[in-house]
């Protein structure tokens, strides 16, 4: 039978700037967010909060051999803590112990943060990295996240940029949210190549289309007409609407 491990047995460098117990060293705001019977979805807010707390001073960089080994050791120790907490939780079921749940919750976050620092993503086959990038882009919940996600993929490193630019499907959904002459949007259209395009054009805060702008945009856009699968245009004034209908 495995013996439960107290979270305080984690190495000091694992729980950076924290004293002895995960349950006692969570951000004060986060600990109060967690109800004993919380569902996974309700845990999302404190997870984001505590992850930000752990990574706020982290500067991404290639790990030295020593840093890599320290992270791997931290992951192994945290995994042992998690397994023992899970065993303790299982033995006490169906009763709920808030201290165990809290310690388990934050131990998992510590583990996840450190694990991804040592995960050798760039050693994966290109087709797998491409699929990961597609999940990043296609799971966006709003236009800003969608745009920023694609930009960040091309800004991270040369390898990621090459993989992202090689996949035309990442660029086939274009929402014209930049200002005339729409350099970013047309750059993405060019990156999409002959992939079917889904395009949305609409007025936005600080810019409303007039008839001249709409005419210039459509003239340039319709050079790609054979590849446009969907085109949505939402504007307030009649003048650009009449240009579209002409």
DSSP state of 41: G
Cα separation, 105 vs 198, in Å, equals 41
Coil, strand or helix at 245: helix
Give 106-145 pLDDT, tens digit per residue. Answer: 999 999 999 988 888 888 999 999 999 999 998 888 888 8
- CB distance 114 to 78 below 8 Å: yes
Closest CA to 184 of 157, 219, 146: 146
Cis peptide before 181 (omega within 30 of 0): yes
In this structure, what are the phi and psi dihedrals at residue 38, rounded to the nearest 5 degrees?
Answer: -65, 145
Starting at the edge strand found earlier in the chain, the sheet holding 173-176 runs 173-176, 197-202, 228-234
Closest CA to 122 of 132, 113, 114, 112: 132
Give 173-213 pLDDT, tens digit per residue. Answer: 999 999 999 999 999 999 999 999 999 999 988 889 999 99
Coil, strand or helix at 106: helix
151-160: average pLDDT: 92
The model's pTM: 0.63
Cα separation, 236 vs 38, in Å, equals 45
Cα separation, 48 vs 151, in Å, equals 22
Cα separation, 128 vs 37, in Å, equals 36
Q: What percent of the chain has pLDDT over 90?
A: 56
First to last CA, the chain: 78
Give 32-71 pLDDT, tens digit per residue. Answer: 444 444 444 455 578 888 888 888 888 888 889 999 999 9
Residue entry with tokens 């004060």? 28
72-83: burial string, b at 16+ Cβ within 10 Å, e else:
eebbebbeebbe
Q: Which residues pair with 230 in a beta bridge?
A: 198
- CB distance 130 to 167 below 8 Å: yes
For residue 46, the model assigns a pLDDT of 81
pLDDT of 14 over the 60 cut: no
The length of the chain, given as a count of residues: 246
Q: How far, in whole angstroms, is CA 82 from its chain's centroid?
A: 25
């Amino acid at each position: 039978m495995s013996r439960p491990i107290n979270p305080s047995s984690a190495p000091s460098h694992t729980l950076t700037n924290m004293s002895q117990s995960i349950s006692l060293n969570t951000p004060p705001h986060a600990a109060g967010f967690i109800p004993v019977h919380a569902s996974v979805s309700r845990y999302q807010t404190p997870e984001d909060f505590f992850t930000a707390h752990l990574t706020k001073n982290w500067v991404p960089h290639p790990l030295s051999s020593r840093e890599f080994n320290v992270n791997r050791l931290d992951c192994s120790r945290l995994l042992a803590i998690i397994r023992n907490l899970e065993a303790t939780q299982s033995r006490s079921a169906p009763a709920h112990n808030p201290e165990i749940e809290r310690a388990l919750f934050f131990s998992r976050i510590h583990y996840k943060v450190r694990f991804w620092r040592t995960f050798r993503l760039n050693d994966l086959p290109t087709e797998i990295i491409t699929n990961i990038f597609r999940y990043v882009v296609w799971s966006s919940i709003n236009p800003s996240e969608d745009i920023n996600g694609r930009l960040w993929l091309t800004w991270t490193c040369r390898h990621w940029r090459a993989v992202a630019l090689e996949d035309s499907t990442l660029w086939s959904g274009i929402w014209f949210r930049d200002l005339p002459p729409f350099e970013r949007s047309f750059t993405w259209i060019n990156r999409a190549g002959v992939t079917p395009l889904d395009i949305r054009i609409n007025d936005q805060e600080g810019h409303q289309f007039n008839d001249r702008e709409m005419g210039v945009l459509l003239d340039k856009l319709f050079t790609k007409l054979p590849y446009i699968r969907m085109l949505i245009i939402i504007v307030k004034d009649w003048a650009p609407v009449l240009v579209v209908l002409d």
